[in-house]
């Protein structure tokens, strides 16, 4: 055999029968997932912010590590929950892989945490991550017109606010001329409201300066500053004029960290104001857990994105 730079098409396939060997047939459309870790998307006041990116690929859609991709896939931008504190952004990499196998580029966002930046910095950063991905869409094989934002717990709150901000013309936009608008929101047990005393059943310092919600609002006492509690709570900032893409909500019925009632209130407010929203209550599920990453739930997410967001 000649040694040269063979193309895939011209390279002769090994076809000799080998006694005892078994053959596995392939089509070239089998999907694998590549992990690109710690891709820096911004540096804000000396704080480097990164993305963990999962890219689906196949033999027929080969991934070029050093160049631009030949494919354009939909993208899910995911915000890891952390009570708005410093995130462990690698936590959900494994859970996102099955969604990537459905054909989505999945990008997990690192944002400025509450120890260094107050709300809405977390949503501002997520918006800039979306803009970065749109700007570099060919590098990652992303269709910039088919992007959704998702998140769990405080990340669900951030995902909702990212969709609501519409701050493309603000100085905080690190990529002028590129919009952070997306086509849908997937909110997993989001900590979207702090209005009720039992919004966070296990947070005994609820709304006090050292609580997660107090810290993300600049170390303020939200009980003494109810206007800050309303500013943070998603449902208090939605009306008939609010521009929002379709929203999908999941919440466990035994969530001890973020009261399931908060998602019900958000669901009802979105319906009352004419927005497209679906709510799935996962029976017996606590705050997160394997129940949210089953084939059934991933199938619901996939169908929602393809039929509601990209219709």
Structural domain boundaries in the chain? 32-309
Residue 311 has pLDDT above 90, yes or no: no
Q: Judge contact between 156 and 187, C-beta under 8 A.
A: yes
Residue 107 has pLDDT above 90, yes or no: yes
Residue with tokens 């919009």: 179
- The order of strands in the sheet holding 47-57 is 32-44, 47-57, 105-109, 73-79, 142-152, 185-188, 247-252, 277-282
Q: Judge contact between 75 and 104, C-beta under 8 A.
A: yes
247-271 average pLDDT score: 98
Phi-psi region of 228 (alpha: psi -120 to 50; beta: other; left: phi over 0): alpha
Classify domain 32-309 at the CATH superfamily level: Alpha/Beta hydrolase fold, catalytic domain (3.40.50.1820)
Q: What is the pLDDT of residue 66?
A: 85
Tokens encoding 214: 């107090």
101-108 average pLDDT score: 98
Reported for 294-300, long-range contacts at CB under 8 A and 24+ positions apart, including other chains, are 295/98, 297/250, 298/98, 298/99, 298/102, 300/248
C-alpha closest to that of 74 among 18, 133, 31, 119: 133
Residue 65 has pLDDT above 90, yes or no: no
Residue 62 has pLDDT above 90, yes or no: no
pLDDT tens, position by position, 191-209: 999 999 999 999 999 999 9
What burial class does residue 123 get, using C-beta atoms within 10 Å of its C-beta: 0-12 exposed, 13-18 middle, 19+ buried?
buried
Residue 190 and residue 251: Cα distance in Å, rounded?
Answer: 8
Q: Judge contact between 77 and 110, C-beta under 8 A.
A: no
What burial class does residue 94 get, using C-beta atoms within 10 Å of its C-beta: 0-12 exposed, 13-18 middle, 19+ buried?
exposed
Tokens encoding 267: 């669901």
pTM here is 0.96
């Amino acid at each position: 055999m000649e040694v040269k730079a063979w193309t895939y098409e011209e390279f002769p396939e090994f076809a000799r029968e080998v006694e005892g060997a078994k053959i596995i047939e392939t089509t070239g459309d089998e999907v694998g997932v590549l992990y690109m870790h710690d891709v820096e998307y911004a540096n804000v006041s000396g704080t480097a912010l990164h993305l963990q990116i999962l890219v689906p690929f196949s033999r027929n859609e080969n991934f070029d590590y050093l160049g631009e991709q030949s494919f354009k896939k939909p993208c899910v931008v995911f915000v890891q929950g952390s009570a708005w504190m410093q995130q462990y952004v690698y936590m959900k990499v494994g859970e996102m892989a099955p969604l990537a196998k459905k054909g989505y580029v999945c990008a997990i966002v690192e944002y400025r945490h509450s120890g260094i930046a107050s709300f809405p910095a977390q949503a501002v950063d997520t918006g800039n991550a979306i803009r970065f991905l749109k700007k570099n869409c060919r590098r990652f094989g992303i269709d910039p017109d088919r992007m959704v934002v998702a998140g769990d717990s405080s990340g669900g709150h951030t995902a909702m606010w990212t969709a609501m901000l519409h701050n493309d013309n603000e100085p905080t936009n690190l990529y002028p001329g590129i919009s952070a608008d997306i086509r849908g929101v997937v909110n997993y047990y989001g900590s979207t409201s702090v209005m009720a005393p039992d919004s966070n059943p296990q947070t005994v310092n609820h709304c006090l300066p050292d609580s997660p919600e107090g810290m993300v609002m600049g170390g303020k006492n939200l009980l003494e500053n109810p206007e800050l509690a309303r500013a943070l709570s998603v449902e208090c900032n939605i009306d008939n004029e609010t521009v929002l893409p379709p929203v999908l909500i999941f919440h466990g019925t035994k969530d001890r960290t973020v009261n399931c009632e908060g998602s019900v209130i958000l669901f009802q407010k979105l319906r009352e104001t004419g927005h497209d929203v679906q709510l799935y209550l996962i029976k017996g599920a606590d705050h997160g857990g394997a129940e949210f990453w089953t084939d059934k739930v991933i199938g619901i997410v996939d169908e929602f994105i393809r039929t509601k967001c990209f219709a």
